[in-house]
Copies of this chain bind each other. A is one copy, B any other.
């Protein structure tokens, strides 16, 4: 399955000419997971060519307007297009009230159900092939970081071994590949006899607005890609402390300690018209770092043993 990340908005607090408010889409197979929904998210989705009429889940990190106001337009547009499929929404308790009171005053009749889940630290979503976890983060209001974790995939199927064992090609191979024991003649064959070691699933972290913390370092251990709050550069590190945000260097330190592969700096203060300085500061600490820009797409391929991974960024 394809795992694609799209930056929909990378500005903090207020939009700029080139950066919209916080939102990141994670596309996995036919599922769309949207992390935060700043004002303008539906239009950013449109620009990116990402539909949201299908299996869509929305995760909100915290109840600040620049991370959540855009959910109203998305929910309303879904109704205009006569959606019937439920839409899953995850976030702090107040998110429910925010949505309900807007539906009341704006009088948009929903054509579908909103399945709201109040987020608590721990497992938030459990699907057959992935999970989403939440962890408390450290901001001025209750806030959560999220982690997408694809399940381990079975090992590589060893065709030669299967043939040598006399297992006929076809349905039996497929069963073994999917972890089922099969019988040929009187003999049982277990998947482990023809499969390599299980291969790790892919993982993506989204910090939301936060100070760095040891809990988050643990939470994001070994992530393939991590979007982390980098509101400020070193020059304004006191602002980062005061406003419960992180600097690019702090994001890089956390990524380095957590053994993250690719760090994506995001949520830049509007004071920076260019973020090259922040990127340089971070790269001194964690080399594999990029700065988010709106509409940037990251394809996350599987990590194949012995081959350097090539993330495609465009």
Give me the interface of A with B, judged by CB distance under 8 Å.
13-17, 20-21, 39-40, 42-43, 46-47, 63-66, 68-70, 72-73, 76-77, 80, 94-95, 97-98, 101-102, 105-108, 141
Contact = CB atoms under 8 A, between A and B. Distances in A.
Contacts of A13: 77, 80
A72 B39 contact: yes
A76 B65 CA distance: 8
Contacts of A39: 39-40, 42-43, 69-70, 72-73
A14 B77 contact: yes
A12 to B, nearest CB: 10
Contacts of A97: 101, 105
A42 B65 contact: no
A257 B14 CA distance: 44
A98 B105 contact: yes
Given A94-B105, A101-B102, A107-B141, 13 more contacts: A13-B80, A17-B47, A20-B43, A21-B73, A39-B72, A63-B105, A64-B107, A65-B72, A68-B106, A69-B73, A98-B101, A98-B106, A101-B101
Contact of A65 (B20, B40, B94, B108): B108
In the A-B complex, the 4 residue pairs with the smallest Cβ-Cβ separation, listed nearest first, are A98-B105, A101-B101, A39-B73, A15-B43
A313 to B, nearest CB: 23
Contacts of A14: 42, 77, 80
A298 B72 CA distance: 31
B40 A107 contact: no
Contacts of A94: 105
25 contacts: A14-B42, A14-B77, A14-B80, A15-B42, A15-B46, A20-B43, A39-B39, A39-B40, A39-B42, A39-B43, A40-B43, A63-B106, A64-B108, A65-B102, A65-B106, A68-B106, A69-B73, A69-B102, A95-B105, A98-B101, A98-B102, A98-B105, A98-B106, A102-B102, A107-B141
Given A16-B46, A42-B39, A46-B16, A69 B72 contact: yes
A102 B64 CA distance: 10
A62 to B, nearest CB: 10
